[in-house]
Amino acid sequence: MQPSEFKSHMDRLAEQFKNTYSQARVELIWREVRDFDAYWWGRLVDKLLGECRHSPLLPEIREAMSIERERSWSRQKQHNAQEAREFFLIADDTEARKSTLATILRRVQGRVPDDEWKQFVHGITSLGTRTIACRSCSGTGLVFLTDAEDYEWTYRCRCASGKRQPQLYVVAPEGL
């Protein structure tokens, strides 16, 4: 928050509660709230103006900040939980699995060009980077390997993500 944004809202408090906020108090309050968003500070001042019968001092401002911070964290937690649910619904989507398997089968049959295959593998492995990922499969549950004769193999990883993959895939050999 910029000092001018802080001052504009602090002036609203000072206007409502006259002769309360000396320069020293204003500086103490500034040090307490300067790292917060200006919009958030404006909402906090609105709340203090609407609810306080007497001029809010630093303890009341800290308490209001704590309540607002908890409300914000609760909203963020709900948002993150919703994103996680949506991600796992996509990851467990039967159609997505069928499409993945169809692309792998087309590659085995030689009907997927190298550049398209690289994009496909990148797309699959990038899905796993949104969560804590296994080092072998990046959280996708699938390990793509090329052997010495340039044959490409798709295995089911041994991690938890691999256990959710269809049983059509062979489990990856030890040491991957």
The DSSP result for 62-100, as a single string, is: HHHHHHHHHHHHHHHHHHHHHHHHHHHHHHT-HHHHHHH
Q: pLDDT per residue over 18-73, tens digit each?
A: 888 899 999 999 998 888 888 888 989 999 999 988 889 889 999 988 888 888 88
How confident is the prediction for the chain on average, in pLDDT?
80
Q: pLDDT per residue over 156-176, tens digit each?
A: 787 777 777 666 666 666 655
Rg (CA), the chain: 28
Burial 159-169 (b: 16+ CB within 10 A, else e): bebbeebeeeb
pLDDT given at position 9:
92
The DSSP result for 116-144, as a single string, is: HHHHHHHHHHHHHTTSS--TTTTTSSEEE
Q: Kindly tell me if the per-residue pLDDT of 82 is higher than 80.
A: no
- Residue 146's H or E segment, with its range, is strand 142-146
DSSP 172: P
pTM: 0.46
